[in-house]
């Protein structure tokens, strides 16, 4: 290997390491970072082949690069991934003041066809599920202490369901909620940002206020007393473990019994986001969902198309 090639290899390794450090600071997993660096390496090789520098890229060059990827037999998913990596890379170049403007900030690779993510439940169906769960009594015990515990657990689970249905929260976001995140006086909930989602503040519906208030003042305190436990978490397990995965698993099991149409917790979130897209503009739905990229919210538009097609088949069999 001649000196020029050695220098190119060292420069690429150094640039990849700096880009990796940038992604680490952004909170990405090691697996994701490795995938990004590998994709960036392919882009760098293409630049060398075309005798271009990263700061010389414009819209025309990007189209040529996407065409190059496509001609290699790669589908739209790979093309979208490559563009996503480049967006991160050029943000990194901006952050480190190596370029002034991001040449691909507004470039998107559109899918030819949107695939529905989930079978969508209407707002009426979500609210019916909430009513059915409130009336659902899986455990009956004559012992007053046991009955009180079961009643408190049931109220805790009703609070979880209300956060799923009205705020569209992920189960991991519910698990991370602390008491200070619930502002009942202002009727607001603050959801912390994470590697997957952005921080946001969402309204508490009027129908939730008394439910959450009762839980905080009575049922939550009762569970803590019986467990001899101290925690700042809104939701916790009635057991020795601090993990709450079992809470969501048992809740899902109960929900499926009283509302068999439910598939999983993600179906509830997808239904809520689809409902938001019908009520609000795309940017507001993106904010409420906590999506970092508007393309993540746009993906749920496929659910609306699928549901419309299902309705046409149901009510117009010859259509």
Question: Looking at residues 232-244, what average pLDDT do you find?
Answer: 84
pLDDT at 29: 83
Helix (H, G, I), strand (E, B), or coil: what is residue 102?
Answer: coil
Residues 51 and 130 reside in one and the same domain = no
Q: Is residue 54 part of a domain?
A: yes
Query: Does a structural domain hold residue 68?
Result: yes
Instruction: Give yes or no: residues 165 and 234 share one domain.
Output: yes
Structural domain for 49, as ranges: 3-95
Number of Cα atoms under 13 Å in the Cβ half of residue 248: 16
Asked if 144 and 266 sit in the same domain, the reply is yes
Q: Is residue 101 part of a domain?
A: no
Lowest-pLDDT range of 23-32, 89-98, 282-291, 295-304: 295-304
Q: What angle do CA 278, 282, 285 make, to 5 degrees?
A: 75
pLDDT band at 170 (very low <50, low <70, confident <90, very high): very high
Whether 309 maps to a domain, the answer reads no
Alpha helices in the chain (DSSP H): 3-25, 30-49, 59-71, 76-95, 123-135, 144-166, 171-175, 206-214, 220-227, 245-258, 265-279, 282-289, 294-298, 301-315
Nearest to 82 by CA among 69, 71, 73: 69
CA-to-CA distance for 118 and 146, rounded, in angstroms? 38
- Contact at 8 Å (CB) between 272 and 126? yes
Name the pTM for this structure: 0.61
Looking at residue 98, what is its pLDDT?
Answer: 80
Same structural domain for residues 255 and 147?
Answer: yes
Nearest to 55 by CA among 94, 24, 81: 94
Residues 91 and 147 in one domain: no
Tell whether 147 is covered by a domain.
yes
**3-state SS, residue 285:** helix
> What's the mean pLDDT when you consider all of the chain?
82
Q: Is 106 inside a domain boundary?
A: no
Together in a domain, 273 and 129: yes
CATH number at residue 15: 1.10.150.130
Q: Name the least confident of 36-40, 81-85, 131-135, 300-304.
A: 300-304
pLDDT of residue 316: 37
139 lies in the same domain as 75: no
What's the whole-number mean pLDDT along residues 45-49? 89
- Per-residue pLDDT band for 236 (boundaries 50, 70, 90) equals very high
pLDDT confidence bin for 308, thresholds 50/70/90 = very low
**Same-domain pairing of 149 and 239:** yes
d(CA 203, CA 186): 8
Burial class (CB in 10 A: 0-12, 13-18, 19+), 242: exposed
For the chain, percent of residues with pLDDT exceeding 90: 39
Domain count, the chain: 2
Q: Domain check: are 81 and 139 in the same one?
A: no
The verdict on 262 and 200 lying in the same domain is yes
- pLDDT tier at 261 (50, 70, 90 boundaries)? very high
In a domain, 313, yes or no: no
Domain annotation covers residue 319: no
Whether residues 50 and 179 share a domain: the answer is no
Q: Is the pLDDT assigned to residue 111 strictly greater than 70?
A: no
Residue 77 has pLDDT above 90, yes or no: no
* CATH (domain of 143): 1.10.443.10
- Quick one: 234 and 129 in the same domain? yes
């Amino acid at each position: 290997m001649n000196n020029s090639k050695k220098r190119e290899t060292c420069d690429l390794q150094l640039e990849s390491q700096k880009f990796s450090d940038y992604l680490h600071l952004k909170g990405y997993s090691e697996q994701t970072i490795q995938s990004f660096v590998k994709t960036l390496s392919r882009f760098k090789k293409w630049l060398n082949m075309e005798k271009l520098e990263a700061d010389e890229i414009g819209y025309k060059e990007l189209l040529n690069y996407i065409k190059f990827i496509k001609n290699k037999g790669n589908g739209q998913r790979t093309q979208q991934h490559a563009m996503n990596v480049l967006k991160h890379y050029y943000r990194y170049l901006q952050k480190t003041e190596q370029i002034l403007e991001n040449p691909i900030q507004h470039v998107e690779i559109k899918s030819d066809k949107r695939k529905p993510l989930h079978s969508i439940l209407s707002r009426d169906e979500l609210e019916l599920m909430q009513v059915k769960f409130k009336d659902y009594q899986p455990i009956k015990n004559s012992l007053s202490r046991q009955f009180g515990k079961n009643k408190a657990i049931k109220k805790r689970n009703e609070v979880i369901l209300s956060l799923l249905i009205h705020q569209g929260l992920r189960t991991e976001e519910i698990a991370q909620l602390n008491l200070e995140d619930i502002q009942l006086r202002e009727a607001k909930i603050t959801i912390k940002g994470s590697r997957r989602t952005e921080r946001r503040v969402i309204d508490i519906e009027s129908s939730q206020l008394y439910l959450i208030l009762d839980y905080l003042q009575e049922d939550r305190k009762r569970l803590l007393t019986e467990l001899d436990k101290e925690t700042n978490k809104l939701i916790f397990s009635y057991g020795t473990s601090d993990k709450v995965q079992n809470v969501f698993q048992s809740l899902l099991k109960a929900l499926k019994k009283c509302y068999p149409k439910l598939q999983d917790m993600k179906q509830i979130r997808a239904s809520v986001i689809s409902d938001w897209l019908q009520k609000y503009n795309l940017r507001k739905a993106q904010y409420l969902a906590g999506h970092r990229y508007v393309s993540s919210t746009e993906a749920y538009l496929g659910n609306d198309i699928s549901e419309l097609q299902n309705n046409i088949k149901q009510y117009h069999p010859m259509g």
